[in-house]
Amino acid sequence: MSRIGKLPVVLPEGVTALAEGRTVTIKGPKGELKETFLPQVSTTVKDGVVTVSRVSDDDKAAHGLTRALIMNMVKGVTEGYSKELEMTGIGYRASVEGTDLVMAIGFSHPVKIAAPAGIKFSVNEGKIKVEGIDKNLVGQIAANIRAVRPPEPYKGKGIHYVGEYIRRKPGKTAKAAGATGGTGGK
């Protein structure tokens, strides 16, 4: 038995769930999420509790995965998810125009990222915040923004997650300074 999969998902007040075949729909105060799961598991909703069970004992990983995804959906429609990115570099700036994010990050043109349905951008003092109810979508959009100008290891310039450690490398001058002091072979 999967330790995570066997735990029931208790629906908080104001959240409803509907299981139809392989599709689960969760509705809450922030919105509605719908997901279709693998055929190896079945879901049932009864008295405000969602339970996940395996059809056969072959796929234990799908059991725990399905339960975790349903729990993420419940958390998304009640609290929501957010990722925060930070821009490091001279002249790097971002703004929100309508629902789109527009960034000036060292290219000859501004980079515009359109917000898909359910995603909201906000910018405050060099930090970009991506918010939404779908955990997967929030993480993917944040990764797409970071991929436009990933942090480089020499000066640390670029876009990175808040709290992300950037491993720095010494430049050419640091390597050259450590190589001097030899006799030159004579």
Pair 97, 154 in one domain: yes
Q: pTM of the predicted model, to two decimals?
A: 0.85
**Which amino acid makes up residue 62?**
A
Pair 86, 120 in one domain: yes
Mean pLDDT value across residues 7-30: 93
Could you tell me if residue 36 is inside a domain?
yes
Whether the per-residue pLDDT at 1 is higher than 70: the answer is no
Q: Of all residues in the chain, what percent carry a pLDDT higher than 70? A: 94
Pair 65, 91 in one domain: no
Pair 49, 91 in one domain: no
Could you tell me if residue 1 is inside a domain?
no
Pair 93, 138 in one domain: yes
Q: What is the pLDDT of residue 172?
A: 83
Pair 34, 51 in one domain: yes
Count of structural domains, the chain: 2
Give the span between the Cα atoms of 64 and 2, in whole angstroms: 6
Whether the per-residue pLDDT at 103 is higher than 70: the answer is yes
Whether the per-residue pLDDT at 180 is higher than 80: the answer is no
- pLDDT band with cut points at 50, 70 and 90 for residue 185: low
Pair 63, 93 in one domain: no
Among 78, 111, 126, residue at a domain's last position: 78
Domain with residue 143: its CATH number is 3.90.930.12
- Write out pLDDT tens, residues 109-161: 999 999 999 999 999 998 999 999 999 999 999 999 999 999 999 988 999 99
Angle of the 60-78 helix axis to the 135-148 helix axis, nearest 10: 80
Residues 6+ apart with CB under 8 A from 24: 17, 18, 34, 35, 37, 43, 50, 70, 73
- CA-based end-to-end distance of the chain: 73
- Write out pLDDT tens, residues 40-56: 899 999 999 999 998 88
- pLDDT band with cut points at 50, 70 and 90 for residue 171: confident
- Torsion angle (degrees, nearest 10) of CA 101, 102, 105, 106: 160
Pair 85, 157 in one domain: yes
Could you tell me if residue 186 is inside a domain?
no
What is the 8-class DSSP label of residue 87?
A: E
Instruction: Write out the two tokens for 120.
Output: 């909201």
Could you tell me if residue 178 is inside a domain?
no
Domain with 98 in it: 81-161
Could you tell me if residue 14 is inside a domain?
yes
- pLDDT band with cut points at 50, 70 and 90 for residue 182: low
